Amino acid sequence: MSIKQPYVLFLGDAPDPLAAKVAQGIKDWRPGLSVGQITLPGCNADMDLQNISVKEAVSLGAKTLVIGVANRGGIISSKWMDVLKEAITAGLDIASGLHNLLRDEAELVNLSKKFNTNLVDVRVPTVDYPIANGIKRKGKRCLAVGTDCSIGKMYTAIALEKEMKNIGLKATFRATGQTGILITGSGVPLDAVIADFMAGSIEFLTPDNDQDHWDIIEGQGSLFHPSYSGVTMALIHGGQPDALILCHEPTRSHMRGLPGYSLPSLEELNDMAVKMARVVNNNVKVVGISVNTSGMTKDKAIEYLTSVEDKMKLPTVDPVLIGTSRIAEQLANF
Amino acid sequence: MSIKQPYVLFLGDAPDPLAAKVAQGIKDWRPGLSVGQITLPGCNADMDLQNISVKEAVSLGAKTLVIGVANRGGIISSKWMDVLKEAITAGLDIASGLHNLLRDEAELVNLSKKFNTNLVDVRVPTVDYPIANGIKRKGKRCLAVGTDCSIGKMYTAIALEKEMKNIGLKATFRATGQTGILITGSGVPLDAVIADFMAGSIEFLTPDNDQDHWDIIEGQGSLFHPSYSGVTMALIHGGQPDALILCHEPTRSHMRGLPGYSLPSLEELNDMAVKMARVVNNNVKVVGISVNTSGMTKDKAIEYLTSVEDKMKLPTVDPVLIGTSRIAEQLANF
Among A216, A129, A233, residue whose Cα is nearest residue A180: A216
Which among A194, A233, A255 has CB closest to B233?
Answer: A233
- What residue spans of chain A are helical by DSSP H? 21-29, 54-59, 81-89, 106-114, 153-166, 178-184, 198-205, 229-239, 266-278, 298-312, 325-332
Residue of A nearest to B130 (CA): A227
Report CB contact under 8 Å: A196, B198.
no
- What residue spans of chain B are helical by DSSP H? 21-29, 54-59, 81-89, 106-114, 153-166, 178-184, 198-205, 229-239, 266-278, 298-312, 325-332
The dihedral through the CA atoms of A226, A228, A234, A239 has a sign that is negative
Q: Write down the pLDDT at residue B72.
A: 78
Report CB contact under 8 Å: A134, B280.
no
What's the ipTM?
Answer: 0.94
Q: Mutation test of the interface with chain A: which of B196, B202, B269, choosing the one with the most A Cβ atoms within 10 A?
A: B196
State the amino acid at position A25 in one-letter form: G
For residue A198, the chain B residues in CB contact (below 8 A) are 195, 230
For residue B256, the chain A residues in CB contact (below 8 A) are none
**β partners of residue B38:** B10
pLDDT in tens, B6-62: 999 999 999 999 999 999 999 999 999 999 999 999 999 999 999 999 999 999 999
- Tell whether A272 lies on the interface with B, counting CB pairs under 8 A: yes
Report CB contact under 8 Å: A193, B193.
no
Question: What's the half-sphere exposure (Cβ side, CA atoms, 13 Å) at B166?
Answer: 12
Nearest chain B CA: its distance from A178 CA (Å): 13
Per residue, the 3-state secondary structure of A266-296, as one string, reads HHHHHHHHHHHHHCCCCCCEEEEEEECCCCC
Q: Using a CB cutoff of 8 Å and minimum separation of 24, what contacts does A112-119 make?
A: A112/A88, A115/A88, A115/A89, A115/A91, A117/A88, A117/A91, A117/A92, A117/A93, A118/A4, A118/A93, A118/A94, A119/A93, A119/A94
Task: Output DSSP code: residue B70.
Answer: -
- Per-residue pLDDT of chain A in tens (334 residues, 90 and over written 9): 689 999 999 999 999 999 999 999 999 999 999 999 999 999 999 999 999 999 999 999 999 999 999 887 888 999 999 999 999 999 999 999 999 999 999 999 999 999 999 999 999 999 999 999 999 999 999 999 999 999 999 999 999 999 999 999 999 999 999 999 999 999 999 999 999 999 999 999 999 999 999 999 999 999 999 999 999 999 999 999 999 999 999 999 999 999 999 999 999 999 999 999 999 999 999 999 999 999 999 999 999 999 999 999 999 999 999 999 999 999 999 9
- Tell whether B193 lies on the interface with A, counting CB pairs under 8 A: yes
Task: Output DSSP code: residue B332.
Answer: H
Terminal Cα-to-Cα distance of chain A (whole angstroms): 31
Q: Mutation test of the interface with chain B: which of A194, A235, A236, A279, choosing the one with the most B Cβ atoms within 10 A?
A: A279
- Tell whether B279 lies on the interface with A, counting CB pairs under 8 A: yes
- Tell whether B272 lies on the interface with A, counting CB pairs under 8 A: yes
pLDDT in tens, A3-59: 999 999 999 999 999 999 999 999 999 999 999 999 999 999 999 999 999 999 999
Residue of B nearest to A203 (CA): B227
pLDDT in tens, A116-157: 999 999 999 999 999 999 999 999 999 999 999 999 999 999
- Confidence label for B74 from pLDDT (cuts 50, 70 and 90): confident
- What residue spans of B34-142 are helical by DSSP H? 54-59, 81-89, 106-114
- Tell whether B273 lies on the interface with A, counting CB pairs under 8 A: no
* Helix B198-205 / helix A229-239 crossing angle, nearest 10 deg: 140
State the amino acid at position B69 in one-letter form: V
Q: Write down the pLDDT at residue B2.
A: 85
Q: Write down the pLDDT at residue B262.
A: 96
Which among B195, B199, B227 has CB closest to A131?
Answer: B227
For residue B133, the chain A residues in CB contact (below 8 A) are 227, 257-258
For residue A232, the chain B residues in CB contact (below 8 A) are 230, 233
CA-angle at A235, arms to A103 and B251, nearest 5°: 120
Nearest chain A CA: its distance from B299 CA (Å): 33
For residue B190, the chain A residues in CB contact (below 8 A) are 195
In this structure, what are the phi and psi dihedrals at residue A66, rounded to the nearest 5 degrees? -100, 125
- Tell whether A274 lies on the interface with B, counting CB pairs under 8 A: no
The model's pTM: 0.95
Which among A191, A230, A264 has CB closest to B234?
Answer: A230
